[in-house]
Amino acid sequence: MEVDYNKISRQYDDVRSADLKLISLFSEEVEMNENTRILDFGCGTGNYADKLQKVTGAKIYGVDPSDGMREKAKAKNSNVVFYKGNDKNIPFDNNFFHFIYMTDVIHHIPEIRVMFNELKRVLKSNGKICIATQSHTQIEKRFYVKYFPTTAKVDKERYPDIEKIISSGKEENLEYINSVTYCDNQLVKVGKEFVNLVERKGYSMFHLIEDSEYKQGLRRLKSEIKEKELELETAGGTLVWFKKK
């Protein structure tokens, strides 16, 4: 089953708010000011582009293939410029950006070497790329996998593991800097708000599992949260950093 991201854009902000910790980690690695040109690749509804522009004052651009996503993004911040584009066509000149990042995007890319080649084209020499994703181990540790076990299998097939990302970047002559895990093993409260998101299938992988598993997992989740919120550990994420030589 394919996922309709124009349809998902209507509720995307319910599950994809900008993480200020992630923005802080970007800022530790990249100097950002009003002269810095930054690309949010696969920007979705523009949550990170919006926050990063307001925090740093940098010149932020967003690229996404979904008309629905970009429409919502444009309404958030008139200082950010959004364009239609994808892994094969980023509509900017060569050597344009100082920094490119993507958050939870790489699993949507069919050929990541093609993507890296296009990112490298629009990136300046010594510019940096940051890929925010999850390792296969982190996917398996997601707290909701116990309710929907096939989601781990589905997403490990979609998400390239960290070593694959690193080797693909190197094959496109990008310099690998490092990989950093963040926000792992933190306790979070899970309650009725999360149940509501699951009911609306706010995460794309809920569209990719059998309906019988989805309904059974939802019933179990509702039953356990009926009395009180659950306190569960986060799986965290991984940042993979590259530099253009």
90 neighbors 108 (Cβ within 8 angstroms): no
Quick: pLDDT tens for 144-203: 999 999 999 999 999 999 999 999 999 999 999 999 999 998 888 999 989 988 998 888
- This prediction's pTM: 0.89
Q: Convert the pLDDT of each residue in 83-98 to its tens digit.
A: 999 999 999 999 999 9
Query: Are 179 and 162 spatial neighbours (Cβ–Cβ below 8 Å)?
Result: yes
Q: pLDDT digit string (tens) for 215-226?
A: 999 999 999 998
* Structural domains of the chain ordered from first start: 5-244 (3.40.50.150)
**Any idea which of 40-44, 187-191, 208-212 has the lowest mean pLDDT?**
187-191
Residue 130 CA to residue 34 CA, distance in Å, equals 20
